[in-house]
Amino acid sequence: MTAPAGSDQSVCGRDAYEGQSSRSLREFIRTESGSAGLLVLAAVVALLWANSPWSEGYQHLWETELSIRFGDSGLTMSLHHWINDGLMVVFFFVIGLEVRREFAIGELTDRSRIVVPLVAGLTGMVVPVAIFLALNPDSEVAAGWGAVIGTDTAFLLGVMALVGPAVSTQLRIFLLTLTVIDDIIAVTVIGVVYSDHLSLGPLLVAAACLLALVGLDRAGVWQAAPYVALVVLLWVATLQSGLHASIAGMLSGLLVPALDPRRADVEEAARRFRAFRQSPMAGVQRDARRSLTRTISVNERLQQALHMPTSYVVVPIFALANAGVDLREGVLGDALGSTLTWGIVAGLVLGKSIGIFAGAAASVRLGWGRLPQGVGSGHVLAGGALSGIGFTVSLLIIGLAFDSATLQDQATVGVLLAAVIASLAGWAAFRFAARFLGQHDAALPRKLSMPIDPVRDHVAGPVDAPLTLVEYLDYECPFCARVSGVGDELRAHFGDELRYVTRHLPLPVHPHAELAALAAEAADRQGRFWEMHEVLFANAAELELEDLLGYAATLDLDVEQFARDLDADEVARRIERDVASAEASGVRGTPTFFVGVGGWAVRHIGPHDARTLIGVLESLRPGTREGKGSTSPR
């Protein structure tokens, strides 16, 4: 028995209280989308400033030298280089942190979900480069091929919020997965292809820093300070080595560990917090704070600290420093007549669209994977078009690829034109998909796919009660165990107006969850489902076969019959039915609740404590303004 194909692994722990995607992922999307407005504003200000009577001030500002010195040694760079080689390292460090988190405990833990966006990401880089080089075979201009490989995630998400479907969670996750591949390759290209002559000594120091980061991870060091100190040292060594510093940011981010909160650490933090509540003293407070900090991985703490300032400060400053092209005195005309400009436009707009769409379609056609549930071919085409917004990475590469100011200006104009054209192309593709392909929202289903069956479902309360609460659960999920009393609290509040229904979703990350689900169904064949249900949650850490047989004996079941039923095909099919209904209903983790009235129920997104669920069900209660006459989900 496995979870549905394409499903996420457990969202127990930090993600247990979210809907169809993890909280950290939703925060990432919101921050990136919100920063897009500042990014556009900074680019517009840069263009206006560079083409104003004060344009010389714009140029002189970024040429200003800044130094950091310690005795006789130190770093001296222009303000422009501090931004591109310093602040942008923080940007790539945050990207590395997010990539590590997604592969360790996030959306990419299920490797089967990576194949389609991986292929689409690769073809979405190869095709643009091929188009660019076809238009610019000259060796000097051809050096700018790297400008067409990157996608600006913040810009993409921001534009999608304006021109995309009202709900596009699944498409965003798909595109974020794709841009993970994009970012890794783009930073590798920057670090290797566009670096200066290398110096062996600093390279060895940088390698030692990377090994030290691995050592901190292996040693389980949870304090952030040692990681930060090594990252700073790695950055300095990389600068001195001749490699572009962006690769230091990405690699160091990839090496900072991301872990789910351990139940033991959470319980210890709760214990110390209770101790502080009883004895509010400085020493007890310090222990409680350290214990709380330890429950969250270094990776997520650093993301929490850096993501917002990176998105709202670092990237807009980068745009302000790099997007200012003086278009006067024939510069715009020269750019519009340049194959470099149009090579970048064609590579980003046409190349990204064709490459991503073709890569995704081919991998699905060949059976290597499938698109996320709710995402159609039209969505992929539109997302590919929006991926032609290269901006941040493209501008960075342009500055590294060309020494000529003329070529830099022409390439920058190409990137800016591509951003506008790609946005319009994405808008048109989304409208086409909605009107002609019937592909509207690119999100997981929210409606309960399989109606309640009083014969096959486990129902507590009157089967014809007006209010319905359905829970998909996993007996080995500690957070399912914590909310296992929610159904009782809600039934106590609503009485005979509520029916509480449980369905199984044993997750692959919990090795005993499937056996525990079989045990509950085997007990049901002797009329003791709810008793076994409570026992399993009370002993969620002890679910071996011998434990289950012992629980059966404790409940006075016929143990031999119970053991035979554990292997019965009919029992297994009941669980398979629940798993299939979970997939069709958009369930991606446990616990997940559905609330409804009459003959329908929709997935509840948000906190699922008893107080919140009571409020939601009260709003659906027959006779209330929201619940009166409800016959279908809104």
Query: What is the distance between the alpha carbons of residues 607 and 592, in angstroms, rounded to a whole number?
Result: 10
Architecture of domain 458-620: 3-Layer(aba) Sandwich (3.40)
Q: Tens digit of pLDDT for each residue in 114-151? A: 899 999 999 999 999 999 999 999 878 999 999 999 88
The answer to whether the CB of 192 falls within 8 A of the CB of 213 is no
The tens digit of pLDDT for each residue in 558-581 reads 999 999 999 999 999 999 999 999
Q: Is 456 a residue whose pLDDT tops 70?
A: yes
Q: How far apart are the first and last CA of the chain?
A: 34
Q: What is the CA radius of gyration of the chain?
A: 28
pLDDT reading at 177 higher than 50: yes
Is pTM beyond 0.85? Reply is: no
Greater confidence (203 vs 630) lies with 203
| Residue 5 confidence (pLDDT) | 34
Q: Binning pLDDT at 50, 70 and 90, where does residue 607 land?
A: confident
pLDDT band (50, 70, 90) for residue 586: confident
Q: Would you state the pLDDT for residue 204? A: 93
Alpha-carbon gap, residue 422 to 427, rounded angstroms: 9
Q: What is the pLDDT, as a whole number, of residue 334? A: 92
Cα gap 371→380, rounded to integer Å? 9
Give the C-alpha separation, 121 to 180, whole Å: 9
Q: How far is CA 143 from the centre of its chain?
A: 33
- Identify the pLDDT of residue 410: 95
Q: Which two tokens stand for residue 358?
A: 């073709």
Question: Does the structural domain 21-195+244-261+296-436 have CATH classification 1.20.1050.10?
Answer: no
Query: Which among 440, 446, 442, 441 has a CA at the least distance from the CA of 588?
Result: 446
- Quote the tokens at residue 392: 């941040």
Region 616-627: what's the mean pLDDT? 74
Number of H helices, E strands in the chain: 29, 7
**Mean pLDDT across the stretch 530-537?**
94
What is the residue extent of each domain of the chain? 21-195+244-261+296-436, 458-620
For the residues of 269-308, what is the DSSP string, one character each? HHHHHHHHHHS--HHHHHHHHHHHHHHS-HHHHHHHHHHH
